[in-house]
Amino acid sequence: MDSIKVTGGAELNGIIPISGAKNAALPLMIASLLTDETLTLSNVPRLRDVAQLMQILSNHGVDYSVNGKRTGQDDLAGQTLNLTAREIVDTTAPYELVSKMRASFWVVGPLIARMHEARVSLPGGCAIGTRPVDFFIQGLEALGADIEIEGGYVVVKAPGGLIGGRVEFPRVSVGATHTIMMAATLAKGETEIVNAAREPEVVDLARCLKAMGAKIEGEGTSTIRIQGVPRLHGAHHAVVPDRIETGTYAMAVAITGGDVLLQGARTDLLESALDTLRQTGAEITATDEGLKVYRNGNGIQPADVTTEPFPGFPTDLQAQFMALMTKAGGKSRITETIFENRFMHVQELARLGAQIAIDGRTATVEGVSTLRGAPVMATDLRASVSLVIAGLAAEGETTVSRVYHLDRGFERLEDKLTRCGAQIQRISG
Ligand code: EPU
């Protein structure tokens, strides 16, 4: 297994191109199951999760091709995927595939909508929490599906097709919103999703579905209305920039100091996190080219955050923000409300000298003046990158093992950081 070695202390200066969002690309790829025509997605990041999902979709019968390099493209440009589900040959998503990536459970929406049946393995828990699928089941039942759990599989049937209905989620769920929205595009009549997720990735999926012929209103608000249509067609859609990658690099600059342009980033996708970063002393400016992050080397101010669904502070930036707070000049409180077990980076940050106490859902971080490099490892994607951020600001060498977590969600992290002066390298293991 590869690891990443970071030698801390260097400022970051330069340009980091922001990739397409992983969490938008995955549901967009799944949407290709809704039509027998080709869905072309550009600005798709080159990530392990994307490759894994391609394997899962091919099992259902999706053909795909990847466009080659074009004039003027550099090696960090996103890829263009052409996905065609001319015929769905298998409506089962097996345990071996779904257990590797939770989001693949979302295929249940398009499969039941188009094929009127689906058999999808329950994804199981994961490192950050139990993550049940009860909202998906309630939602599909509200659209007239008949659901049974058999041998670890969710077996969904709707012999005459889905029928539009009212779906009210007990709490905000990104995945359940994606799934019910996709399912409802081909249902008969109108579906109303109440307490829908407002995340930019949901808006991006809705835009793509509309380009495919779906009738959707209200995406980006907490009530989404979908008028079912008999069929969808092919389309071309460019994946929205990754707000979590943007926030991650902004926090890296905030901890090391320096001046970096996050090329292609959009401020409107992460206002809350940027406001918090400003409170810590970082200067953030939106430009035509992206987002400029500057920190002049003065002390980092502490700030408190609570994770919330969009437009609140994202749970996917909680670990990175905690890394930043380990070097703040004072005490900060970080409360996680989305997942019950998303503090696994705390013990690893402590190995670098961070002072963090956990009480239930809240971590209190007492900033220290010096972090010291150490070998660390993490059990999920965002926790892993928080250790890289801390390592960039630590004295000496930090080795982050289990890098495959990072490869799931950060495209060429070490290349992007090296270009800005970081001392970071991958060690093949
Ligand atoms: N929940 C239920 N029942 C359900 C569905 C969700 O109780 O049927 C709970 C979850 O257990 C959790 C909360 O609702 O406590 C919110 O979970 P949500 O469904 O919104 O999460 P998700 O759709 O599984 C996506 C992202 C996550 C991100 C969350 C929250 C993708 C592929 N994943 O997950 O991203 O943390 O939304 O914003 O889009 C990551 O990229 O590292 C990552 C974990």
Q: Residues 289-311: pLDDT tens digits?
A: 999 999 987 789 999 999 999 99
- Residue 248 · residue 317 · CB < 8 Å: yes
Phi-psi region of 355 (alpha: psi -120 to 50; beta: other; left: phi over 0): beta
Mutate to test the pocket of ligand 1, among 50, 338, 379 (most ligand atoms within 8 A of CB): 338
Which residue CA neighbors atom 27 of ligand 1 most closely?
Answer: 316
Assign 255 a pLDDT band (cuts: 50, 70, 90).
Answer: very high
- Residue 239 · residue 78 · CB < 8 Å: yes
Q: How far, in Å, from the CA of 173 to the mean position of ligand 1?
A: 6
Strand partners, 155: 119, 148
Q: How far, in Å, from the CA of 100 to the mean position of ligand 1?
A: 15
Q: How far apart are CA 344 and CA 351, in angstroms?
A: 12
Which residues carry out catalysis? 126
DSSP string covering 17-58, please? EPPBPHHHHHHHHHHGGG-SSEEEEEEE---HHHHHHHHHHH
- Is the bond preceding residue 27 a cis peptide, omega within 30 degrees? no
Q: Provide Rg for the chain, Cα atoms.
A: 22
Mutate to test the pocket of ligand 1, among 173, 239, 361, 408 (most ligand atoms within 8 A of CB): 173
Q: How far, in Å, from the CA of 238 to the mean position of ligand 1?
A: 23
> Is residue 228 within 6 Å of ligand 1 at its C-beta?
no
Q: What percent of the chain is modeled with pLDDT above 90? A: 90
Average pLDDT over every residue of 65-80: 85
* pLDDT, position 125: 60
> Is residue 28 within 6 Å of ligand 1 at its C-beta?
no
Point out the ligand 1 atom lying closest to the alpha carbon of residue 175: 23
> Is residue 409 within 6 Å of ligand 1 at its C-beta?
yes
Q: How far, in Å, from the CA of 14 to the mean position of ligand 1?
A: 33
Q: How far apart are CA 386 and CA 369, in angstroms?
A: 18
Phi–psi pair at 427, nearest 5 degrees: -115, 120
Q: How far apart are CA 27 and CA 24, in angstroms?
A: 6
> Is residue 105 within 6 Å of ligand 1 at its C-beta?
no
> Is residue 171 within 6 Å of ligand 1 at its C-beta?
yes
> Is residue 79 within 6 Å of ligand 1 at its C-beta?
no
Q: How far apart are CA 379 and CA 375, in angstroms?
A: 14
Assign 62 a pLDDT band (cuts: 50, 70, 90).
Answer: very high
Range ranked top by mean pLDDT from 6-15, 68-77, 115-124: 6-15
DSSP string covering 304-345, please? -EEB-STTSB-GGGHHHHHHHHTTBSSEEEEE--S-TT--TH
Q: How far, in Å, from the CA of 174 to the mean position of ligand 1?
A: 6
Average pLDDT over every residue of 243-257: 98
The pTM of the full predicted model, rounded to 2 decimals, is 0.97
Which residue CA neighbors atom 33 of ligand 1 most closely?
Answer: 23
Mutate to test the pocket of ligand 1, among 19, 23, 179 (most ligand atoms within 8 A of CB): 23
Structure confidence by residue, pLDDT tens digits, 206-216 = 999 999 999 99
* pLDDT, position 69: 83
Question: Does residue 124 carry a pLDDT above 80?
Answer: no
Structure confidence by residue, pLDDT tens digits, 392-410 = 999 999 999 988 889 999 9
Which residue CA neighbors atom 26 of ligand 1 most closely?
Answer: 23
> Is residue 135 within 6 Å of ligand 1 at its C-beta?
yes
> Is residue 133 within 6 Å of ligand 1 at its C-beta?
yes
Q: What is the mean pLDDT of the chain?
A: 95
Q: How far apart are CA 267 and CA 393, in angstroms?
A: 25
Q: How far, in Å, from the CA of 397 to the mean position of ligand 1?
A: 34
* pLDDT, position 126: 64
> Is residue 131 within 6 Å of ligand 1 at its C-beta?
yes
Alpha helices in 369-411 (DSSP H): 381-393, 404-409
Assign 429 a pLDDT band (cuts: 50, 70, 90).
Answer: confident
Which residue CA neighbors atom 14 of ligand 1 most closely?
Answer: 173
Point out the ligand 1 atom lying closest to the alpha carbon of residue 130: 11
Average pLDDT over every residue of 100-110: 95
The token pair at 291 is 């987002």
Structure confidence by residue, pLDDT tens digits, 350-391 = 999 999 999 999 999 999 999 999 999 988 899 999 999 999
Question: Does residue 266 carry a pLDDT above 90?
Answer: yes
> Is residue 385 within 6 Å of ligand 1 at its C-beta?
no
DSSP structural state of residue 409: H
